[in-house]
Amino acid sequence: MTGRESSFDPVRMADLDRIMELVRAVAWPHRREDIAQFIRLGGGRIARDEKGGRALATGLWWTFDDTLARIGLVIVAPEAQGRGIGRRLVETLLEDVSPRPIVLLATEAGLPLYEKLGFAAFDRSVQYQGTYTGDPIQDPRISRVAAGAIEEIAEIDAAAFGALRGDMLRDLAETGSVAVLTENGQISGYAMARAFGRGTVIGPLVAATEDDALALFRTLARPGFVRIDCPADASTLIEYLQTAGLEDVGASPVMVRGGWTPPSGPARIFGLASHALG
């Protein structure tokens, strides 16, 4: 690194204030609680200015046994961009989680870098958000479950996500509410709703069909600011979101590096826990 930059140190909870400064610098909507949860669930790196200790860049990672890893919340301070810090940061994150395959959602600014580092797009996620005006529904197949019942949904989630993430689901559930969809005595889908960013995020949302995904969404969504990151080809769900007050605020390629094949169903992720967590 150049003279005034420290090495990429492991992220600690004590770095939360510095990371929040970076989040605000790029106008991302994450709350302090959101970033604290990200740190609690994984690890990451942070680079500081050697003179004042101010954060210049950060990035986080999450691992799921030896099966898969994700990286996200990659931020370089605006005044530090163009100095190669972003590339060195991402290369360090990749080393941290090696040799696992890695999945991420790329920002428009980060896409060229990820392509140079060997990532390839395999899907597209669209962020919808806004003031939700829809009405909740009562679907006899859907019921609420306690946060402690995560084991019941961990297997179906793993089939859609591509790796088992029970600990992460348990942590997410403790900060929100969970609904499951049951048919013929078997759970075939679930969704979570929790406070995140500017309001409420619906996700993870896993279902076998778009109709089931929509039913789960409408069970949990309430009037107010709502966000969901859903597949770009989920036309039935997207049509409803648009009629209920949510707007398309941007799409992101879902990218992978390493030998990993995305799950092929029947359950599918129709709503991400977050842009970073997947």
Distance of CA 63 to the CA centre of its chain: 13
How crowded is the C-beta side of 213, counted as CA atoms within 13 Å? Answer: 28
User: Token digits for 219?
Assistant: 């069970």
pLDDT in tens, 49-77: 877 678 999 999 999 999 999 999 999 99
Give the count of beta carbons closer than 10 Å to the beta carbon of residue 92.
Answer: 16
Domain over 127-271 is classified CATH 3.40.630.90: yes
**What 3-state DSSP class applies to 186?**
strand
The pLDDT value recorded for residue 4 is 54
Residues 6+ apart with CB under 8 A from 50: 3, 4, 5, 6
Start and end residues for every CATH 3.40.630.90 domain found in the chain: 127-271
Distance separating alpha carbons of residues 128 and 134, to the nearest angstrom: 14
The pLDDT value recorded for residue 145 is 86
The pLDDT value recorded for residue 1 is 46
Distance of CA 14 to the CA centre of its chain: 22
Looking up tokens 């090696």 gives 98
Domain 9-100: which topology?
Answer: Aminopeptidase (3.40.630)
pLDDT in tens, 202-222: 999 999 999 999 999 999 999
Start and end residues for every CATH 3.40.630.30 domain found in the chain: 9-100
pLDDT in tens, 252-265: 999 999 988 888 87
The pLDDT value recorded for residue 6 is 61
